[in-house]
Structure 1
């Protein structure tokens, strides 16, 4: 059986990191590229609020090519879908045989159904390598495997703003309210991964300013440390 090429929807966070690890563990799969949605107004990963410079450092440490789907702030689904279609067409130009786009979705059936409606007309099949896994166990395994991540965005209607900027570690898991999914699957929080088995080397990052957007989302800026900036400049 031929090895199956796969593209991964990369958010820079823990779920897409675990999805990449799962795909790479399958000897019949080859991840050939990453696709990331960028909010052009802020030049950051959509929803997660991660700077392009940090994204580029992640991609460099993953040794995978990146294709961007750029959208404006507060983009409609139609605008997002057009941007994604454009990005996937570019992927297809570079990798004519690829047909599968993987996501780090865990259990939200409406999100999965949306992707399953959206992609086939574009000539793509969605894959969900983490689907149905226990999120509490997944969060613990993520930490135990040596991954390091920072909460970059918190939905303050579901979780206190003080969690923005915290490390995703066992102490944080113990502090999460019972109503919050350990992986933030309902959008309670988003993360930026800066170290772990999938990377060739850890990223030197630091947390910075915090900002509230839409009277709801608390963002914590993550920037590259001096050593990482020097590495990226080489």
Structure 2
């Protein structure tokens, strides 16, 4: 019997790589889950527009569920919604794209326990494995664009960069996690092996936040593959 799971989805490289690995393992990702704090009206993970995550779901042909919450009741809102999705999608587990931060895993495992689901971490490993994991993503065939950077680590020239071999080379010169596990940078995946359509991102504008800068694309289009 095929295992059915929900995948916590940010729209970036980590959750996409988790999806790819789960699919190759024969696990069915029944739905994607994205939290949207009402304080910002954007995704919790990357501060992205819901429209872009909806386009990813369409391109992947996997339903996405948005959990509306506040920062204060984030965990309770997630748990309550997950209990509903468990029955709606007949879920066996909840999967996360976390890599090595123990406090993130502890949170996810407690959430899974509270909802009687299996916690699944397909990318889990050691901090030292992050560079290898970045190379794995670059070689995977998915297209990811840097959409947000933390100013104390990476300057504005990193915005809009594609994750490729040059990106790996330049990241090796920086004193930070190559996968940006502590929020050094965030990405948006627009195409790849599991995508039935690709997302075209054009006319970027830079939005400055308190400690980060973000690319905001003014023209977005879903293009079906032949």
- Stretches of 4+ aligned residues off by more than 4 angstroms: none
| Aligned-pair CA distance for 1:41 | 4.4
* Other-structure match for 1:45: 43
SS at match of 1:153: strand
TM-score, length basis structure 1: 0.86
| Aligned-pair CA distance for 1:126 | 1.4
Q: Is 2:124 aligned against 1:131? A: yes
Taking the aligned partners of 2:203 and 2:93, their CA distance within structure 1 comes to 35
Q: How many residues align?
A: 221
- Quick one: which of 47, 66, 82 aligns to 2:76? 82
**What is the aligned-residue RMSD (CA, Å)?**
2.0
- Consecutive unaligned residues of structure 2, counting only runs of 5 or more, are none
CA offset digits 1:162-206 (Å, max 9, x no partner):
322322222222222431212111211111100111211221112
Kindly report which structure 2 residues correspond to 1:8-47, keeping only aligned pairs within 5 A, or say none: 8-27=7-26, 29-47=27-45
- Quick one: which of 149, 164, 182 aligns to 1:154? 149
Taking the aligned partners of 2:78 and 2:34, their CA distance within structure 1 comes to 9
| Higher RCO (CA 8 Å, separation ≥ 6 residues) | 1
8 A contact 1:147–1:195 mirrored in 2 = yes
SS at match of 1:184: coil
Kindly report which structure 2 residues correspond to 1:107-146, keeping only aligned pairs within 5 A, or say none: 107-132=100-125, 134-146=129-141
* Other-structure match for 1:169: 164
Taking the aligned partners of 1:223 and 1:107, their CA distance within structure 2 comes to 34
Taking the aligned partners of 1:4 and 1:193, their CA distance within structure 2 comes to 25
Taking the aligned partners of 1:210 and 1:174, their CA distance within structure 2 comes to 25
Taking the aligned partners of 2:134 and 2:49, their CA distance within structure 1 comes to 24
SS at match of 1:220: strand
8 A contact 2:59–2:196 mirrored in 1 = yes
